[in-house]
Amino acid sequence: MTSFRRKRLGVAAAVATATATLFALCGPVAAEAAPTPAPATSSRAAAGDDWLHTDGNRIVDEDGHQVWLTGANWFGFNATERVFHGLWSANLDTVTQQMAERGINLVRVPISTQLLLEWKNGQAAVPSAVNTWANPELKDRTTLEVFDAFLATARKYGIKVLLDVHSAEADNAGHIHPVWWKGSITTEQFYSAWEWVTDRYKDDDTLVAMDIKNEPHGKQSESPRAKWDGSTDQDNFKYACETAGKRILAVNPKVLILCEGIEVYPKNGTDWSSTAEADYHYDWWGGNLRGAAEHPVDLGDQQDQLVYSPHDYGPLVFQQPWFQGTWDRTTLERDVWDPNWLYLHKNNTAPLLIGEWGGFLDNGPNEKWMKALRDLIVENRISQTFWCLNPNSGDTGGLLNNDWTTWDEAKYALLKPALWQEDGKFVSLDHQVPLGGEGATTGISLADLYGSG
């Protein structure tokens, strides 16, 4: 039995990287006029009342009102380009506004520990993968200043941000490495990078959540690999989640801490010393949270900031054993989702946020899986961030088409029911700003929905 997850960035990423410098210098033949530049600042102008915490299996605002985090991933800061992919042709403000107007109230932003350390050490560079014809407001901005500009733009349109350490190194394939340390990137640097970025944005409730590490994984016979138990071993992801989480919360006790699963977990009667395949349960990278039953993540006095965050994919990413033969939502829920992570929701242990799910529409098994998980998300109001906005994700595609301008309307239609809507309006996670920004006709704010108190 095997489990495998590989987000291939696709040929488009390599081609775009090669042409980004030319675009940055020359620009396309024609481009729309850019909007007013967003200020490069990490300060928050609003009241700072949008922090979230948990209550059982719900995520709630500071008044105790339930919120539903429903969004998408936009990658690139984790990769060699060190900025969002697509800025080689698309305008940052335009794409962000489109996401808000279409109901995405949370953007998961993958990043690397290496880039965070570069920012911490004052080594942020001006990226070559930004087309300054399409993004004149980003001219001469460093990667850190581009991130700040995105936060300001997200704030303007009522979007909140989830930061995800996707890999140790700034590498398009960095997520394939199974653990959170690599080469010159140590575990202590991983923790200190989290502390630094938390401190920088501790007063900005645009950045409401931290996903400690993307898809820790590795099989029982591999080294290194991520495990989950009660030890303080370096490769125990449960311990890494607790340590990073507590250090983050010591800086900002109001930010959500997301902890993903791993890949394999020992069956009853066995332990991590076994290298026998038959002794383990398997799931997607980051999807196996069986260990949280016996060894839950402990954040101490800030336990109500903990959210578990599994990932789940369909047969076009990998033909898992549970996709063999006859299967449907009932078998997936019974055999895969319940034992690996859904039990945490059903037992009212903690909220879930499915950090990655998505894929190509094939009018077949992959679409069948996607609709089944979508329906589970909607019926249980489970928070989620769809993978992904980017069209250059090789094994899933994206919500945007290859032009980075138009949307894949069929895929968006599949996702749309899993985006938070009330009375036909998309709901922001901001108390003041409706989703879509001031004057938006498609979205409302939390104050619009719940009142001011």
Tokens of 331: 């078998």
CB 339 within 8 A of CB 292: no
Is 125 a domain residue?
A: yes
Residue 48: its pLDDT value, please? 78
Residues 6+ away with beta carbon under 8 Å from 415 = 72, 358, 374, 386, 399
Is 49 a domain residue?
A: yes
Q: Whole domain around residue 183: which residue ranges? A: 10-25+40-419
Is 1 a domain residue?
A: no
Residue 39: its pLDDT value, please? 41
Is 31 a domain residue?
A: no
Domain tally for the chain? 1
- Say whether pTM exceeds 0.75: yes
Comparing CA positions, the residue from 39, 146, 41, 142 lying closest to residue 91 is 146
Instruction: Give how far the C-alpha of residue 207 lies from the chain's centroid of Cα atoms, to the nearest Å.
Output: 12
Which residues pair with residue 73 across a beta bridge? 108
Active-site residue list: 215, 356
Is 192 a domain residue?
A: yes
Half-sphere exposure of 80 (CA within 13 A, CB side): 10
Residue 34: its pLDDT value, please? 40
CA atoms of 381 and 379, how far apart (whole Å): 6
Residue 47: its pLDDT value, please? 57
Is 255 a domain residue?
A: yes
Is 426 a domain residue?
A: no
Is 35 a domain residue?
A: no
pLDDT in tens, the chain (453 residues): 445 445 555 434 444 443 433 333 333 333 333 444 444 443 333 457 999 999 999 999 999 999 999 999 999 999 999 999 999 999 999 999 999 999 999 999 999 999 999 999 999 999 999 999 999 999 999 999 999 999 999 999 999 999 999 999 999 999 999 999 999 999 999 999 999 999 999 999 999 999 999 999 999 999 999 999 999 999 999 999 999 999 999 999 999 999 999 999 999 999 999 999 999 999 999 999 999 999 999 999 999 999 999 999 999 999 999 999 999 999 999 999 999 999 999 999 999 999 999 999 999 999 999 999 999 999 999 999 999 999 999 999 999 999 999 999 999 999 999 999 999 999 999 999 999 999 999 999 999 999 976
Comparing CA positions, the residue from 140, 139, 134, 74 lying closest to residue 109 is 74
CATH number at residue 84: 3.20.20.80
Tokens of 302: 């800030």
